[in-house]
């Protein structure tokens, strides 16, 4: 089983990554569009526009949204759901907690499951964010010269959150990173046949 310190590091990184993913999902600046002095910010849940004064409005119809927004919104919600499950599972499986202390093998397996869930959530976040960026870059290349479209700060926050979540999941799921050599020698000694000291006793 991985050491308690490595598990704590992985859990902390995953927790920070999940918080960053939540922040990026709520943020408005997924895409920004500038036309002269007028700017528009578009997020997964609302859009803001203005010149000196900004007004924001929630997306009213899901069907009228662009496909990249619909897909990104759906996948980000799934990753947050997986991260929430991974948090609960990891707390049970970590060595520093007292859950299932009488069943170390099951506790180790649960910790590994939590790490895999975190890795899956982080990888999904990175993939969907990268796909969203490619869509924005394509729109930028096809747009008019007077109209500048590009991705905003939420994209970088989402990338960072996905990366931290995935790295933390790797630490949590790594079962052989800090295996104790003494425990290995003890277990190997049990496998060796022992001679009977009383075999020659008369």
Tell whether the model's pLDDT for residue 180 goes beyond 60: no
- Cα–Cα distance between 55 and 200 in angstroms, integer? 95
Tell whether 188 is covered by a domain: no
Tell whether 61 is covered by a domain: no
Q: What is the pLDDT of residues 90-111, one digit of tens each?
A: 888 776 666 666 666 777 788 7
Contact 129, 30 (CB under 8 A): no
Tell whether 45 is covered by a domain: no
Tell whether 52 is covered by a domain: no
**pLDDT given for residue 21 in this prediction:** 95
Tell whether 187 is covered by a domain: no
Least confident of 15-29, 41-55, 99-113, 154-168: 99-113
Q: Look up tokens 């662009």; give the residue.
A: 66
Contact 86, 169 (CB under 8 A): yes
Tell whether 43 is covered by a domain: no
Query: Domain holding 14: CATH number?
Result: 1.20.140.150
What total number of domains does the chain contain? 1
Tell whether 81 is covered by a domain: yes
Contact 2, 174 (CB under 8 A): yes
Q: The pTM is what?
A: 0.77
Beta-sheet strands, E only, within 54-147? 54-58
Tell whether the model's pLDDT for residue 188 goes beyond 60: no
Tell whether 87 is covered by a domain: yes
For residue 111, the enclosing domain spans 4-27+66-178
């Amino acid at each position: 089983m991985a050491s308690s310190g490595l598990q704590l590091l992985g859990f902390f990184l995953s927790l920070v990554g999940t918080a960053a993913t939540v922040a990026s999902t709520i943020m408005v600046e997924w895409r920004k569009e500038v036309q002269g002095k007028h700017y528009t910010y578009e997020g997964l849940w609302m859009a803001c526009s203005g010149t000196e004064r900004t007004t924001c409005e929630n997306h009213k119809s899901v069907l009228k949204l662009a496909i990249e927004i619909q897909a990104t919104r759906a996948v980000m919600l799934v990753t947050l759901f997986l991260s929430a499950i991974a948090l609960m599972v990891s707390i049970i499986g970590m060595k520093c907690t007292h859950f299932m202390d009488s069943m170390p093998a099951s506790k180790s397996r649960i910790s590994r499951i939590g790490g895999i869930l975190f890795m899956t959530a982080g990888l999904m976040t990175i993939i969907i964010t990268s796909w969203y960026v490619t869509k924005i870059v394509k729109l930028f290349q096809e747009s008019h010269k007077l109209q500048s479209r590009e991705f905003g700060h939420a994209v970088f926050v989402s990338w960072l959150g996905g990366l931290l979540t995935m790295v933390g999941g790797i630490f949590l799921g790594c079962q052989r990173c800090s295996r104790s050599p003494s425990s290995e020698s003890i277990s190997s000694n049990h496998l060796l046949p022992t001679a009977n000291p009383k075999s020659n006793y008369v």
